[in-house]
Amino acid sequence: MTVFFIGLALVLLAGIAAVAVRSRYLAGLLIIGGCAAALVPAVRVLAGGAAPEVRLALPGPGGPWVFGIDPLSAAFLIVVLVPGLASALSGLRDSRPVGALLFAIELVALALVVTARAVVPFMAAWEVMAVIAYFLVIADHDRAEVRRAGLVYLVATHVGMLALLALFAIWAGAGGGLTFADLAARAPLLPAGGAVVLLLALVGFGVKAGLVPLHFWLPDAHASSPSAVSALMSGVVIKMGIYGIFRVVGLIGLPPAWFGWLVLGIGVSSGVLGVLWALAQHDLKRLLAYHSVENVGIILMGLGAGALGVTYHLPFIAVVGFAGALLHTLNHALFKSLLFLGAGSIAHATGTRTLDQLGGLGRRMPLTSVAFLIGSAAIVGLPPLNGFVSEWLVYQALLGSGGAGGAAMPAMLVGVAGLALVGGLALACFAKVCGVVFLGKPRSAAAELGHDEGGSVVGPLFGLAAACVAIGVAPVVAVRPALAVGAAVAGAPVAAAGLVGATAGMISLFALGVIALLGLGAVGAGVVRRRRPVGAGATWGCGYALPSPRMQYTASSFAAPLLALFGPLAGVHTSRSADGAAFHSEPRELVLDTALVPAWHRLRAGLARMRTIQHGRLWVYLVYLIAALLALLLYLTGFLGTVRG
Amino acid sequence: MTIWTAVDFVAVLALGPLLKGVATRTKSLLTGRRGAPVLQLYRDLARLWQKGAVYSTTTTWIFRVAPVAAIVTTLAAAALIPFDGREAMVQFAGDFVAFAGVLGLGRFLLILAALDTGSSFEGMGASRDATFAALVEPALFTSFVALALATGERSLGGMLGSGTASAWAHAAPSLAMVAVSFFFVLLAESSRVPVDDPATHLELTMIHEVAILDHSGPDLALLEYGGALRFAVFAALPIGVLAVRATVPPLAGLGVLVLGSLGVAVLAGVVESSMARLRLSRVPQFLAAATVLAALGVILQVLA
């Protein structure tokens, strides 16, 4: 564990170096060294080593501060540090030195959240992470929408914090120990199988993870922050909510059946609604933020299947479900960071994030477009990339092992159909994004300014893309550790997963075969093309003489048929001008605009009526004071009178 | 993997264009015309392969890669189907996810190639293509779930091959519903009536045809062949469910495959000549019907 803490200290030093010495190179080197050092014990634990633990008896309430790296923490350390490092390196370039320091503190807080083994250090690190994230989000605080996004995020995260405090208070009970081991020991004594605890965990960690309907802060916060911060928040900070739910499920031991069904249902609805709302967006970063909601839904589907497997004593479903959720957490961190960094590069180069003003960037930003395309194919779940591997694991869990699992059968239909619909909608959405942004002709003057940024931006992009391809082509590297961690959380032997680990090798062959055939085909097509008369011309437009770039299909038109199917659930608000000559559509955040904001306004109106008490007349305030004192005296003497008598 | 697996695979590769010719000839005969020869698509492919190509100046490398990707992904998907009724060339647990995924990869690149041209016609076709593809996925996967429940297998080779023999004994109604659902999916994925009309010449009414409007020469040959192969691959799904070939000798199995594919092509031609393409707003209802049929197949087995 000392290596781990040294690594975290190096990361902090990198932030301080960015502020004190103003040297970006030094900060970059230190952060690479720090993350690498902190990863060493995690990799050692995943490779089968013993789980280290350290107890620090600090003065103050709450017992000793325990930190440890067990397999779940090790897996999430990789999720935190690898994409976090890529985002940090990419953000070093155009962040202010204070931003770099805050980023470093955020990384350290995230690593500490994942390795804390007692309530007090967990909550302390959680709060530091949440508040520093707020400061990172409002980096551009001159703009009103950024301030509003930050405020909504702050309120939401503290509502979650309250739920977490209640969760741990109820769980530890009066005078109980506050380490995770003590909580696990107390779990069988919880009333109603821990119903209240589990619901509070879903609310508290769900706000951070962004599951529907607790996701309302996510789109604004992720869209308004700088791209490296969006990459960190979407790729890493959201996963802390997932880590929390994993940890609670692991500590509870035997979750009740309704919990697994609830998580599966929330997963399906988050997945479908998330990608549907993503389809409706005109803004590139808001679209990517809604896709995070969708992927959290997929992760929860795996988690729900795993929880059901634990409840019904089906070790295959338990192990494979948790493994699928874990692997999808890592995969999503990788490709979502890649997509956000690419979106940031596009926004920085062209100055706009609106899809319908971009276009033709494939020629102007070739490197960024290739990396973004790989990230898009990965997030849709297409072989031979990594998204396919984790979705395959979740499908395996939902189907169960042949024959067994009578009680879990109906889950399969909803889960499998939901996951298939999510995949299809995601394909439509990312075909829209890649096609409208990178292909065709530039739709505005802003799009013509696109250019590839320097190596410090494109480098992390290709690093993340290479990781996506590597996991897709050699899934055994990731599937076996994921199965081991899933088994540790489920409390079942790894062998319960059966041949899933070996089948990952077959996927490897299949993926390599597809890539080899594609390469051969491309080479062959090139050879054939060279032997034919090839001409160039304009795109056929049925003989129309003067096509303009504005005549291309727009992103909102591309998504319109799918959105029309879902009606008001898609949250698209359309308006026409009085003479019908102008048409405007805008996506609305349904939960925020139809439920929370009106509820808040009604609450304010109701509370405003109480303002009549506060009218500024001093003598009435004195009457209030005297009345309160008299009432207190009467209460005390009456009480004392009855006690005496 | 036996020699017959490879033989049947090659037979399907060779027969694909014939199936399209049979479907078109059936439609022509039923509407009172003589129609084009059944082998016309082979001649078309040979003619297109000799020609040169014209590329739009708006297009990038994606436009040139897409036809290759369409063929390669359809071949990879075909490798997962057990054409001989026993096992597939490539088989592993959960490979139906790979089947849908690799076909999705081809479709993704084709949609991008359509948007690459910067034409509003192709954008419209790409958008409708993406919409219908998104709605076909639940139908396809629900059918696979029903098959997995009936046969107890987790790979396509088992679900459509050796596992169906015993499944018919106890889950016959479910399998019948799954076969009908697969036929609906075939009509949707190979862009035939009632989802799309392959014979229309008006760009505004095309869906798949307009998405590949700008391709020419060898690229168009690859795309046409890919479409024919796609028809053959999706026709093998209901044949795999309905025609149990695990117990018959391999040569008879090959004959059953060929006759069954021709029968499916004739059926597609009959459907094409007896109804018009559905209104675009009704196609999602058609695809939802396929999903509901497959879901009924699942529910029947859960209740039994």
- Surface of B (223-262) touching A: CB under 8 A: none
Query: Which residues in chain B have their CB less than 8 angstroms from residue A392's CB?
Result: 94, 97-98
- A383 with B102: Cβ contact below 8 A: yes
**Of residues A391, A518, A528, nearest to B69 (C-beta):** A518
Query: Which residues in chain A have their CB less than 8 angstroms from residue B62's CB?
Result: 362, 439
* pLDDT value at A408 more than 70: no
A323-336 average pLDDT score: 94
Other C-beta atoms closer than 10 Å to the C-beta of A585 total: 16
The CA distance from B104 to the nearest CA of chain A, in Å, is 7
Helix crossing, A238-252 with A284-311: angle to 10°?
A: 10
So what's the pLDDT on residue A406?
53
Alpha carbon separation from A414 to A156, B13, B303 (Å, rounded): 30, 35, 16
**Of residues A360, A421, A558, nearest to B127 (C-beta):** A558
Query: Which residues in chain B have their CB less than 8 angstroms from residue A380's CB?
Result: 104, 108
So what's the pLDDT on residue B180?
96
Give the three-class secondary structure for A417: helix
ipTM over cut 0.85: yes
The CA distance from A101 to the nearest CA of chain B, in Å, is 41
**Interface membership of A377 toward B (CB under 8 Å):** yes
Nearest by Cα to A290 from A281, A282, A299, A298: A281
- Surface of A (415-444) touching B: CB under 8 A: 416-421, 423-425, 427-428, 430-432, 434-436, 439-441
So what's the pLDDT on residue A116?
92
**Of residues B51, B104, B148, nearest to A382 (C-beta):** B104
Give the β-pairing of A572-576 and B53-56: unpaired
* pLDDT value at A401 more than 70: no
Query: pLDDT digits over A375-392, tens only?
Result: 999 999 999 999 999 999
The CA distance from B20 to the nearest CA of chain A, in Å, is 24
**Interface membership of A383 toward B (CB under 8 Å):** yes
Q: Are A300 and A214 in contact (CB under 8 A)?
A: no
**Interface membership of B13 toward A (CB under 8 Å):** no
**Interface membership of B1 toward A (CB under 8 Å):** no
Nearest by Cα to A371 from A358, A359, A356, A361: A361
- In chain A, the percentage of residues whose pLDDT exceeds 70 is 97
- A392 with B94: Cβ contact below 8 A: yes
| Segment holding A586, helix H or strand E | strand A583-587
* B299, closest residue in chain A (CA to CA): A410
- B90 with A396: Cβ contact below 8 A: no
- B130 with A535: Cβ contact below 8 A: no
The CA distance from B228 to the nearest CA of chain A, in Å, is 18
**Cα–Cα distance, A232 to A129 (Å, whole number):** 12
| Segment holding A415, helix H or strand E | helix A409-438
**Length, in residues, of chain B:** 304
- A431 with B126: Cβ contact below 8 A: yes
- pLDDT category at B246 given cuts 50, 70, 90 is confident
A57-72 average pLDDT score: 85
**Of residues B58, B141, B144, nearest to A441 (C-beta):** B58
Query: pLDDT digits over A184-217, tens only?
Result: 888 888 877 688 999 999 999 999 999 989 999 9
* B122, closest residue in chain A (CA to CA): A553
**Interface membership of B131 toward A (CB under 8 Å):** yes
Q: Residue A530 is which amino acid?
A: R
**Of residues A383, A431, A441, nearest to B98 (C-beta):** A383
**Of residues B94, B102, B145, nearest to A412 (C-beta):** B145
- B94 with A395: Cβ contact below 8 A: yes
Question: Which one of A414, A427, A509 makes the best mutation probe of the B interface by having the most chain B beta carbons within 10 Å?
Answer: A427
Choice between A193 and A296, residue whose per-residue pLDDT is larger = A296
A302, HSE (Cβ side, Cα atoms, 13 Å): 30
- pLDDT category at B104 given cuts 50, 70, 90 is very high
- In chain B, the percentage of residues whose pLDDT exceeds 90 is 67
| Segment holding B54, helix H or strand E | strand B53-56
A&B contacts, CB < 8 Å: 249
Query: Which residues in chain B have their CB less than 8 angstroms from residue A436's CB?
Result: 115
Query: pLDDT digits over B129-182, tens only?
Result: 999 999 999 999 999 999 988 888 888 988 888 888 888 888 899 999 999 999
Nearest by Cα to B160 from B90, B98, B101, B237: B237
Q: Residue A319 is which amino acid?
A: V
- B92 with A435: Cβ contact below 8 A: no
Query: pLDDT digits over A549-573, tens only?
Result: 888 889 999 999 999 999 888 888 8
Query: pLDDT digits over A585-621, tens only?
Result: 889 888 888 888 999 999 999 999 888 888 888 998 9
The model's pTM is: 0.93
Alpha carbon separation from A611 to A190, A604, A606, B84, B192 (Å, rounded): 43, 11, 10, 81, 68
**Cα–Cα distance, A108 to A111 (Å, whole number):** 5
So what's the pLDDT on residue A54?
85
- Surface of A (17-36) touching B: CB under 8 A: none
Which residue's entry shows tokens 């996925």?
A: B137
Query: pLDDT digits over A124-141, tens only?
Result: 999 999 999 999 999 888
Alpha carbon separation from A219 to A148, A227, A275, A325, A432 (Å, rounded): 12, 13, 13, 23, 19
* B94, closest residue in chain A (CA to CA): A396
Query: pLDDT digits over B180-226, tens only?
Result: 999 999 999 999 989 988 888 787 788 888 888 889 999 999 999 99
Q: Residue A15 is which amino acid?
A: G
**Cα–Cα distance, A512 to A505 (Å, whole number):** 11
* A506, closest residue in chain B (CA to CA): B92
**Cα–Cα distance, A91 to A94 (Å, whole number):** 6
**Length, in residues, of chain A:** 645
A336-347 average pLDDT score: 93
- A396 with B152: Cβ contact below 8 A: no
Within 8 A by CB and 6+ apart from A175, the residues are none
- Surface of B (49-68) touching A: CB under 8 A: 51-60, 62, 64-65, 67-68
* B144, closest residue in chain A (CA to CA): A416
Give the β-pairing of A572-576 and A583-587: antiparallel
Give the three-class secondary structure for A68: strand
**Interface membership of B102 toward A (CB under 8 Å):** yes
Backbone angles phi, psi at A54, to 5 degrees: -140, 140
Query: Residue B11 has which token pair?
Result: 């037979």
Give the three-class secondary structure for B58: coil
- pLDDT category at A640 given cuts 50, 70, 90 is low
- B118 with A500: Cβ contact below 8 A: no
* A408, closest residue in chain B (CA to CA): B302
DSSP symbol at B172: H
- A540 with B72: Cβ contact below 8 A: no
Question: Which one of B49, B51, B58 makes the best mutation probe of the A interface by having the most chain A beta carbons within 10 Å?
Answer: B58
Query: pLDDT digits over A156-191, tens only?
Result: 999 999 999 999 998 888 767 788 888 888 888 887
The CA distance from A390 to the nearest CA of chain B, in Å, is 11
Query: Which residues in chain A have their CB less than 8 angstroms from residue B117's CB?
Result: 440, 539
A482-495 average pLDDT score: 88
Apex A151 CA angle, A147 and A156, nearest 5: 150
Q: Are B105 and B69 in contact (CB under 8 A)?
A: yes
* pLDDT value at A411 more than 70: no
- B93 with A525: Cβ contact below 8 A: no
| Segment holding A535, helix H or strand E | strand A534-537
- B2 dihedral zone (left: phi>0; alpha: psi -120 to 50; beta): beta
Nearest by Cα to A558 from A257, A292, A279, A359: A279
So what's the pLDDT on residue A358?
92
**Cα–Cα distance, A343 to A284 (Å, whole number):** 7
**Cα–Cα distance, B149 to B131 (Å, whole number):** 29
**Interface membership of A204 toward B (CB under 8 Å):** no
User: Among the residues of A491-537, which ranges form H helices?
Assistant: 500-530
Choice between A614 and A290, residue whose per-residue pLDDT is larger = A290
- Chain centre distance of CA A466: 21
* B54, closest residue in chain A (CA to CA): A535
Backbone angles phi, psi at A351, to 5 degrees: 85, 5
Alpha carbon separation from A103 to A7, A16, A329, A366, A557 (Å, rounded): 15, 11, 21, 29, 39
Q: Are B92 and B82 in contact (CB under 8 A)?
A: no
A222-234 average pLDDT score: 91
User: Among the residues of A190-283, which ranges form H helices?
Assistant: 195-209, 218-224, 227-232, 238-252, 257-280
Choice between A467 and A645, residue whose per-residue pLDDT is larger = A467
- B148 with A399: Cβ contact below 8 A: yes
- A391 with B214: Cβ contact below 8 A: no
Within 8 A by CB and 6+ apart from A163, the residues are A200, A203, A204, A207
- pLDDT category at A512 given cuts 50, 70, 90 is very high
B278-304 average pLDDT score: 90
The CA distance from B29 to the nearest CA of chain A, in Å, is 32
